[in-house]
Amino acid sequence: MNFTSPPPPRKSRQGATLIEAVIAVGVLAVAVPLIFATLAQSGESSLDAGAETRCSWVIPACVEELRAASYNQSQLLGEIPAGKEFSDISLAFSESGKALSKLDPAVYAQGIRDKRVRYIVSMTATLPEQENSTTSSATPIRQLRLRLEYPAAAPSGSRNKIDFYTRLP
């Protein structure tokens, strides 16, 4: 009688089965889009955080420019008489929050491709109804809407916006 033992089991397997390959492709098909979506969302969150941080000095700089403009001492805006309404005056700001220039309405609408410009602030002032009808000699208080918009290169309709409201003579 000749007894032979079965061949020894393999220590390592060479390759993968078809089932293992299908499972791996399925996992990748789910994981890769989730990873890219997460990266895109984190990039947008970074832009939002940067804009919110810059607001702390961009908005006060705009208010100071408007105050200076009422005395014809603004470097960017020219003269804007106190107590008068205005609409859609736009200023360009750098990434660091420095005011760069006043924007023409056409440039504001289409976006500005200058690499130094990161944010746009559009400003509108209206007089409240009760103060429109008053005939006092005091300078009326305007309601200001300052809107920080980013990214500056995008057309105005597709920019992210953060609104601020205040009152100013």
Whether pTM exceeds 0.85: no
Q: Which residue has the higher pLDDT, 16 or 45?
A: 45
Residue with tokens 């057309």: 155
- Which run of H or E residues covers position 39? helix 18-70
**What percentage of the chain's residues is helix, strand, coil (to nearest 5)?**
40, 25, 35
pLDDT in tens, 100-137: 999 999 899 998 888 889 899 999 988 877 655 555 56
Q: Single out the residue of 93, 134, 131, 133 nearest to residue 114, CA to CA.
A: 93
**CB 147, CB 160: distance < 8 Å:** no
Output the six-digit token pair for 37.
């979506």
**Domain positions in the chain:** 22-168
Mean pLDDT of all residues in 52-77: 87
Output the six-digit token pair for 166.
């205040």
